[in-house]
Amino acid sequence: MGHLPKTQTQLYSEIGNRFYVRASETDFNNMTRSGYFFGKLVQNTPDGTTDSNWIIEVQAFDNNTGWTFQRAARSSDKAIFTRIQDNGTWSDWEVLARKSDLSQNIIAKTFNVQATVKANEGYICDIPFTVPDGYELLDVVDTYIQGTPAALCQQGIVEDKIRVYIQPFYDGTGGVYVKVLFKKKS
């Protein structure tokens, strides 16, 4: 015998008190007791909507009633929001970035330079780069040496160059590769 599809409300009502508890509050600001809740909250919502069902996680310390963490997800999509209450004051809601959001706002470029290094002699190389139009530098996230003996690497930004310091363990020649992240300007 087949099963009839159920609405989200029917599914939530079957959960009962097993894990998620139906929220007795309608205002997010009053959700300060630790637990997992669901329901239609209409005040102080993460995105201003007043007609959405929410799944809410609340973490609070018993010994500090002025600190609360909330994570809320609308039941109709993947948007997840977080905020904290510290000393009785709520922070603004922040939406967590989805992987699809990141690919639109952050780009990575890899730069390289060839280097010949001698054991136990430090080597500094500068790799020039330009920031793509409409972006700003976010971080230098990865430096590695390929084809050279094992070495220690450190990197940083000096003006419009990536400065890489290499301390090799053995003589050798190879490429120094640096991955840089750029963030779309807001």
Residue with tokens 């970035």: 97
The full set of domains in the chain, from first to last, is 8-96 (no CATH), 101-184 (2.60.40)
Residue 85 is predicted with a pLDDT of 93
Per-residue pLDDT tens for 133-162?
Answer: 888 877 776 666 666 555 666 676 777 777
* CB atoms closer than 10 angstroms to residue 129: 17
Rounded distance between C-alpha atoms, residue 81 and residue 95, angstroms: 4
**Top mean-pLDDT range of 13-27, 88-102, 119-133:** 88-102
Residue 1 is predicted with a pLDDT of 46
Q: Please state, for a pLDDT cut of 70, what percent of the chain lies above it.
A: 66
pTM, full prediction:
0.49
Report the pLDDT averaged over residues 153-173: 70
Rounded distance between C-alpha atoms, residue 173 and residue 169, angstroms: 12
Which residue(s) pair with 95 in the sheet? 81
Residues in the chain: 186
Rg, Å, the chain Cα set: 26
